[in-house]
A and B are shown apart, each in its own frame.
Chain A
């Protein structure tokens, strides 16, 4: 019962936090610099790892598809299989998981540390709402960054698949045939669905990271617990939401 109460409490506080952050949206022009800084950290510095992982996910997808489809003579469809899987599912999910592990954990650690060392109290006594100064720029930044990272991940993943299809002897699908399959069967809606997922995942991950950090109580040991909690909660939220969003968009 206590656990259910704690989950509902966290959910309520996350919703309240988002509401309070967006209530200060009119002050957005004043936080542009901070939004850009968070965008740079969350986006630009995450891009290399997104591209490396996307490349190998695309490559593995193509390889697995090649192994299965050679028995059915449907190798020409490997392109669309990799393309749609990356665009609709693996791209946004992988980017969101990376965001939770790399950026979300750092955000939780920073805010939890600010809470433990009374910096949040200092902001409150100065009548500077922490949601405006600390949460809104991060939420806005993630909304800008997620589509960019997802598109980059998708493109690199498609190329990873193309290279495998071309270079692995038992698949041997030419890049032209591979990309023809993508351009012929992949619809703009598939890409947009993936981007909608990415936006929702990114928003939720960042909200969980901020909320967990700001709700930290106690001493330095709690900072570590908060980071673990934030990452685990984000991963669960991504996968649960993925099912429901996919169902809603189907």
Chain B
């Protein structure tokens, strides 16, 4: 066996095991002061799965995702990625974990190219020439090559989302987390993002967890969907089974009725008179 030469030894070796990872949540509970945001959540996400967490606003979806990303510490219960605590830097080093934030969370003082290259430069993944190739390849996949030198403030909402996805992909993640990937996007762009998530899962063999209240996105691309309601896990089912659910909360959430004769609005009208 020959020792690596000095030039290549400077760069950390790419993870050899590139297989997607599994995620396990056991009796997860989160309290902020006296308010309990998550109640006894237990679920498991299989390697390579697209798993969507749905629920109305304020149901605790994003908090749950932040726990999986290792950005929050649970009040009780555990979150593990292939048996490892995601809060530990060693776990993040071992299984590249990428989070696509709802608002992108792009570094505003960096160009799009610098946003993507930062992870590779900081972790010395590869030499500078290779970093350029890798970043430009990802930008090309997402039709963003023309935006490489732009600042995030110069991009549209849809482009910002795609740059956030590109920044995640450049890490070659084994687990990718999306927080409301289609919020604030028009239906066409939402469909494009949904297609992108499904395609990336195939191309990059990655475990995908999506938090969304976008019913179409969840029921189209997911292998399984979890529904959160008031911080409690209501159900975990494949989309086909979820469509047939007899649970009134789930039925109301999936098929909301717009009733302009709703008594609440009558009350509102009365208060103006």
| Shortest distance from the beta carbon of B106 to any chain A beta carbon, whole Å | 8
Residue among A113, A127, A128 with the most chain B CB within 10 A?
A127
How many residue pairs at the A-B interface have CB separations less than 8 Å? Answer: 51
Q: Are B108 and A119 in contact (CB under 8 A)?
A: yes
Looking at B93, B105, B109, B123, which has the most chain A CB atoms within 10 Å of its CB? B105
Cα distance A126–B97 in the bound complex, in angstroms: 7
Report if B232 contacts A (CB, 8 A).
Answer: no
Q: Does A148 sit within 8 A of B, measured CB to CB?
A: no
A32, chain B: closest CB distance, angstroms: 13
Task: For A125, give its contact among B99, B103, B118 (CB under 8 Å).
Answer: B99
Q: Is the CB of B123 within 8 A of A127?
A: yes
Q: Which residues of the partner chain A approach B108 to less than 8 Å between Cβ atoms?
A: 113, 117, 119
* CB of B107 closer than 8 Å to a CB of A: yes
Smallest distance from the beta carbon of A239 to chain B beta carbons, Å?
Answer: 33
Contact partner of A127 (CB less than 8 A), chosen from B66, B71, B92, B167, is B92
Asked whether, in the complex, the Cβ of B105 is within 8 Å of the Cβ of A117, the reply is: yes
Q: Would you call B89 and A118 a contact (CB within 8 A)? A: no
Query: Chain A nearest CB: distance from B156 CB in Å?
Result: 17
Q: B118 near A127 (CB under 8 angstroms)?
A: no
Contact A117 B119 (CB under 8 A): no
- Asked whether, in the complex, the Cβ of A122 is within 8 Å of the Cβ of B107, the reply is yes
Q: Are B122 and A126 in contact (CB under 8 A)?
A: yes
Q: Are A118 and B118 in contact (CB under 8 A)?
A: no
Contact B107 A125 (CB under 8 A): no
Query: Is B250 part of the contact surface with A, judged by Cβ < 8 Å?
Result: no
Is B122's CB under 8 angstroms from A118's CB? no
Give the residues in chain A near B98, CB-CB below 8 Å: 125-126
Give 1 or 0 for each of A119-141: 1 = CB within 8 Å of chain B CB: 10110111111000100000000
- Indicate the size class of the contact surface on chain A: 10 to 19
Assembly CA distance A125 to B89 (angstroms): 9
Bound form: Cα–Cα A30–B123 in Å: 11
Q: Which of A30, A121, A129 contacts B101, CB < 8 Å?
A: A121
Interface of A is mostly: helix
User: What 0/1 pattern do residues 177 to 220 of A give for CB contact below 8 A with B?
Assistant: 00000000000000000000000000000000000000000000
Known A121-B71, A122-B99; judge A128-B122 contact (CB<8 A): yes
Closest to B179 in A: A118
Q: Which of B103, B109, B119 contacts A126 (CB 8 A)?
A: B119
* Whole-angstrom CA separation of A126 from B101 in the bound complex: 12
Provide the residues of chain A in CB contact with B109, threshold 8 Å.
110
A141 to chain B, nearest CB (A): 16
Chain B proximity of A124: nearest CB distance (Å): 6
| B171 at the binding interface (Cβ < 8 Å) | yes
Please give the distance in Å from B271's CB to the nearest CB on chain A: 29
Cα distance, A114 to B122, chains bound together (Å): 18
Contacts A127-B123, A128-B122, A133-B122 given; does A119 touch B71 at CB 8 Å:
no
Is A122's CB under 8 angstroms from B101's CB? yes
If A118-B103, A119-B105, A119-B108 touch, whether A124 touches B122 (CB-CB below 8 Å) is no
Question: Interface residues, chain A, CB within 8 Å of chain B?
Answer: 30, 110, 113-114, 117-119, 121-122, 124-129, 133
Chain B residues in contact with chain A, CB under 8 A?
Answer: 66, 69-71, 89, 92-93, 97-99, 101, 103, 105-109, 118-119, 122-123, 167, 171
